[in-house]
């Protein structure tokens, strides 16, 4: 299905984009530390905000401090928590750039590096999902080619055409052809499930025998031959 094929590209590109953004966020934080000086501040209030992830109330400390020019500066920390990490009246160390004192931050690990950590995790997750799909499909093509060239073609008995309810895209689940074969050497019964098929293949199955390519030494390695099905556009 084209939408599923697009996922690997979307997730990989999105992951790379987020990781690039993470690099710039990290560099901004590093440059901020190099140019900032310290001051003592006081938490004067706890501002409520709604978390976009779970709609819970977060508390962001509002801090007041005096910069090197004697000006009273107030800023709201971008890092919130529930329960609050600070209390009203608590003394905190403040980092700020003398040229831009309103962009001050509480001298805390997450206050400085939190943005890079969050975006970095998101970037790794998206990139990992995308690249994993690429690797899975590559291995699958290699396995298919190997089995067709070196495996053993057997005729399994058609059992049913089922629906793979474990996967759904836009409310639709793919079909799978299930067949079985009894190994004449070991007398063991093997069940084969085809790859996902995004249309009902029932009308295209003209026989009760389904070709399967197996690794004779390990029948658990197999691929159901679906070459008799029409190609989707």
Residue pair 96/72 in contact (Cβ under 8 Å)? The answer is no
Per-residue buried b or exposed e for 165-179, using 16+ beta carbons within 10 Å of the residue's own CB: eeeeeeeeebbbbbb
CA 174 to centroid of chain Cα atoms = 22
pTM as predicted = 0.68
Q: What is the pLDDT of residues 69-113, one digit of tens each?
A: 999 999 998 888 888 889 999 999 999 999 999 999 999 888 899
Alpha-carbon distance of 212 to 155, in angstroms, equals 6
**Which residues, in sequence order, are CB contacts of 23 under 8 Å at separation 6+?**
none
**Which residues, in sequence order, are CB contacts of 57 under 8 Å at separation 6+?**
48, 49, 50, 51, 82
Instruction: Compute φ and ψ for 170, nearest 5 degrees.
Output: 55, 40
CA distances from 46 to 22, 76, 88, 104, 137 (A): 28, 9, 7, 17, 51
Q: What is the pLDDT of residues 174-184, one digit of tens each?
A: 999 999 999 99
Q: Which has the minimum average pLDDT: 43-57, 86-100, 118-132, 141-155?
A: 43-57
Q: What is the dihedral of CA 59, 60, 64, 65, to 10 degrees?
A: 130
Tokens of 10: 């979307």
Q: What is the pLDDT of residues 172-228, one digit of tens each?
A: 899 999 999 999 989 999 999 999 999 999 999 999 999 999 998 888 899 999 999
Tokens of 94: 């403040």
Averaged pLDDT of the chain: 91
Q: Which stretch of DSSP H or E encloses residue 46? A: strand 37-50
């Amino acid at each position: 299905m084209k939408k599923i094929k697009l996922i690997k590209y979307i997730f990989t590109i999105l992951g790379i984009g987020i990781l690039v953004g993470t690099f710039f966020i990290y560099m901004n934080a590093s440059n901020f530390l190099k140019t900032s000086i310290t001051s003592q501040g006081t938490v004067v209030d706890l501002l409520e905000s709604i978390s976009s992830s779970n709609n819970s109330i977060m508390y962001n400390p509002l801090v007041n401090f005096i910069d090197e020019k004697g000006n009273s500066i107030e800023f709201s920390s971008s890092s919130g928590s529930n329960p609050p990490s600070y209390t009203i009246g608590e003394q905190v160390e403040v980092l700020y750039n003398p040229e831009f004192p309103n962009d001050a931050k509480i001298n805390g690990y997450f206050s400085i590096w939190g943005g890079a950590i969050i975006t970095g995790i998101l970037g790794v997750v998206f990139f990992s999902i995308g690249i994993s799909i690429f690797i899975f499909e590559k291995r699958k093509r290699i396995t298919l080619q190997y089995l067709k060239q070196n495996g053993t073609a057997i005729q399994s008995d058609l059992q049913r055409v089922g629906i793979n309810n474990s996967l759904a895209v836009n409310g639709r689940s793919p079909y799978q052809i299930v067949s079985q074969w009894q190994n004449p050497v070991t007398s063991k019964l093997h069940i084969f499930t085809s790859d996902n098929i995004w249309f009902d293949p029932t009308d295209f199955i003209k026989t009760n025998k389904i070709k399967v390519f197996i690794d004779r030494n390990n029948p658990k390695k197999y691929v159901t031959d679906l070459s008799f099905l029409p190609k989707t556009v």
